[in-house]
Structure 1
Amino acid sequence: MKSIPAGYENDLLTMVEILRITYYLYEFKRNRRGTAPIYCKLTTDGAERQQFSTGLYVTPDLWDKDAQCVRGTSEDAVLINRRLQDITIELKGIERKLYEADGNVSLAEIYSIYKHKTVEEHTLCGIFRERLNKMEQLVGKEYSPATLQKFREVFAHVERYIRTSYNTQDIPIRSVDYRFVKQFEEALIVQGLKAITINKIMQRVRQMVTYAFKCNYIQQDPFVEYRPLKERKRLVFLTQEELHKLEHHHFAQKRLETVKNIYLFSVYTGFAYHEAQALQPKHITKGFDGRNWITLVRQKTDREVSVPLLPQAEKLIAWFREFGSTDDYIQPRISNQKVNSYLREIADVVGIDKKLTHHTARKTFATTILLYNDVPIEVVSKLLGHSNISVTQQSYAQVLNKNISNHIERLEKVLDVQ
């Protein structure tokens, strides 16, 4: 234990600081992502020593051993370096307060106060409410109403899990560790939710926890070692034969005929339900090629997408104008729930043995309309409004493989002739 030398008890400006703080990379604990944890080592003039994980991770090639910081000016580098500075300031502040209290300080006491300090208690549900309130204020600017609703649904899952598992209404954010993350995921699995749904829920919970981490409410990211569930995706779309059957079946009931045409419109444009329902005449413009094009900003990716109107889509717009009473919109206003309900009825009548939903129209556009007609994957990606071509490649891998097989088969025939 060290004391302030005689004569300096009241002169904190000349306080003898015994605490030395060093940051180093613990490369032997590198995780599957290739990042290693940054550790903090505390030493004094004596033999006392204490080390702990900062909860921060970085790839070894970005760590500057001499400067004890992350190289570069990326967002992650700035965030990590700022957090290291905060830790240093906090530890030095504890040291100073101990000197101010009685002139005595020990490394064990500094570390104990740092690890068990009493700060404003932030809670998981409290952070959700704070962020949901902010998102509500930014609807139409940074967030869509649909995105806000999805986060509210995730919050409901979190609240239900805390009530049933902890017998309380909320938990401190510092209690959210890797164990909490995995057990929450397992609870969702027990509910019978699909892997894709669970992954989306976990992704949104992670956004809230990351916010808490960046705000220094927690010192470690509990999602660092977390891996999403493997998804078994089955691509559902209409074949050329099924599409032909649907197009040429005329329903006596107007509601079914209307929903059939709403579906077919997305088959020939690729627009998702919310995009198709939001279309207005102002979105249709003449393109450089003299064709009519639809141009709008996709809610999901916030990217502008332009799609040329195929003749089939032009005819459907004319039908909506004549029979659909569309007011200011291109399509009649029908809820997604009703559309999907009627599509199940339509599939039964027409004899399509598939679970028909509005989203399968977009899949049919990408596969039967585009890829099976040898439209390049780069063009398909652009027409779908995907943020990255890899998204398109992953989503339609099985169709691409069939296209490759067809091309190879044609190539073999050409080579046989030669």
Structure 2
Amino acid sequence: MRTKNTFSVHFWVKPTNEKINNGIIYVRITVNQRRVLVSLKRKISFDLWDPSKKRAKGTSSEVKQINHYLESAKSRIFQCYQELNSKGKKVTAQLIKATYLGEVENSKSLRDLIEYHSRKIKNTHAAGSIRNYRVSEKYFFKFLNKERKTSDIYLKELDYKFLCDFEDFLGGYYPKRHPKAMGHNTIMKHIQRLRKMVTLAYNMEWIDKDPFRRWKNTFEKKDREFLTVGELSNLETYEFLVERLDRVRDLFVFSCYTGISYTDIMKLTKDNITIGLDRNKWIISKRQKTNTPIKVPLLDPVLELIKKYEDHPMTLVSGTLLPKITNEKLNVYLKEVAILCGIKKNLTFHMARHTFATTVTLSNGVPIETVSKLLGHTKISTTQIYARVLENKISQDMIALRGILKQKKDEDSTQSPNVASFSIYLGAIGFTR
């Protein structure tokens, strides 16, 4: 049963110094005869203060601003009282003060949310994903420091305008050691990570409203670069004079014929090779990024590479299937490989995965469902990014179609009209000879 509270709000001025004729305005909140004081951090001359009316006196612009501020503060305090009362909580003067100042238990800040989210994903997300969140978090605080002149904000202050301003800030920000500003999709990724954290706060009832409810992330569609059959062949057959580049090429080719990412390749050992139901060798492992199984039948180029490095000094020391190298050096050396092989694309190791999906599998008629399993994707929509139709595939399909149409025309010309009509009828009902 809800009890009735006595509630009042009054203003008064406390002197700051006996020698100075001014003071700081305080608000006194009283609930059930218990009081608390809250400093409004506004100074006023005693000559402008009316103690009986608890307001500034006069008609000057300064007086009008002070009285307007007092009315706003009183209205906000009354609103805090109403909100607490409507939730059925035991209303106290101290609780109203804490609510007004944003110090109540559920008035969490953005920093509180980030710290909680970091602890939450520590054991559930891959190291790369955690690193990406940390990069985004740095941009959140850069934005607050530069645009809002603060180091933190309460979650209840997040609104649609905050998101728009943050997007504009990222659009004009030039990261260190980067030749240009962020691309549109990069900006959307940072906002997407913020959205995931804010949704978590909303589900935990840290905020009453979701500031993203009207926000829409828009990603620009970009073609994933990959090597064509000719480029892949040039890469495989080129004879490198430098062993370092030869190893880098082999790692790239291994990924081109397995679709396994750099991180997962570096962890492979002989224990990951098993004999499948088809009596052939398979690689069985798990993706570090999503923890989904990797099951890939080994093609001849892969088997040759495994045999090549079986007794290599680097693999004997590391115990891995292939020589180990850092991702940074690998991508730097791939630039040299591309120049020597006459490849004019920006060759990165991740392009090998794209090449496997597009040139090696989909272009050769492997169903997209199978490719999705081979890549270790958790959703078929992720694989559909690679499901492009290549010009040579279109040409092959049209040549095959042209042959079918010509054959039908030749058959029809050798048959009588009735026989031809009957053949067309049989084809329509699905009858085959």
Q: TM-score normalized by structure 2?
A: 0.68
Pick from 384, 392, 407: which aligns with 2:375? Answer: 384
Q: Output one character per residue of 1:191-246: Cα deviation in whole Å (capped at 9) or x when no partner.
A: 32123322222221112111211222211111111111332312211111111111
**Percent of residue pairs identical:** 36
State the one-letter code of the partner of 2:346: K
**What is the aligned partner in structure 2 of residue 131 from structure 1?**
117
Is 1:254 the counterpart of 2:230 in the alignment?
no
Q: Output one character per residue of 1:109-162: Cα deviation in whole Å (capped at 9) or x when no partner.
A: x9xx999975233211232123223433x2xxx222222211111111111111
* SS of residue paired to 2:310: helix
Q: TM-score normalized by structure 1?
A: 0.70
Question: Which residues of structure 1 form unaligned runs of 5+?
Answer: 1-12, 18-86, 102-109
State the one-letter code of the partner of 2:152: D
Give the CA RMSD over aligned residues. Answer: 2.8
Pick from 331, 334, 349: which aligns with 1:358? Answer: 349
> How does 1:169-318 map onto structure 2 within 5 Å?
169-191=151-173, 192-318=181-307
**What is the aligned partner in structure 1 of residue 402 from structure 2?**
412
Is 1:163 the counterpart of 2:145 in the alignment?
yes
Q: Output one character per residue of 1:348-386: Cα deviation in whole Å (capped at 9) or x when no partner.
A: 111101000001000111111111211111211111111
Is 1:342 the counterpart of 2:327 in the alignment?
no
* 8 A Cα contact 2:372 2:380, kept in partner: yes
* 8 A Cα contact 1:258 1:324, kept in partner: no
Distance 2:313 2:341 in 1: 22
Distance 1:228 1:342 in 2: 35
Q: How many residues align?
A: 320
**What is the aligned partner in structure 1 of residue 104 from structure 2?**
119
State the one-letter code of the partner of 1:411: L
* SS of residue paired to 1:278: coil
**What is the aligned partner in structure 2 of residue 91 from structure 1?**
86
State the one-letter code of the partner of 1:267: C
* 8 A Cα contact 2:368 2:387, kept in partner: no
* 8 A Cα contact 2:84 2:91, kept in partner: no
Distance 1:342 1:367 in 2: 24
* SS of residue paired to 2:366: coil
Distance 1:338 1:250 in 2: 20
Question: Which residues of structure 2 form unaligned runs of 5+?
Answer: 6-81, 174-180, 409-433
Segment of structure 1 superposing worse, 307-316 or 224-233: 224-233
* SS of residue paired to 1:245: helix
**Which structure exhibits the higher relative contact order, with contacts defined as CA atoms closer than 8 Å and separated by 6 or more residues?**
1
* SS of residue paired to 2:209: coil
Segment of structure 1 superposing worse, 376-385 or 316-325: 316-325
Distance 1:397 1:291 in 2: 27
Distance 2:309 2:125 in 1: 30
State the one-letter code of the partner of 2:104: V
Distance 1:402 1:225 in 2: 43
Structure 1 pair 417–188 and aligned structure 2 pair: CA distance change class (3 A): same
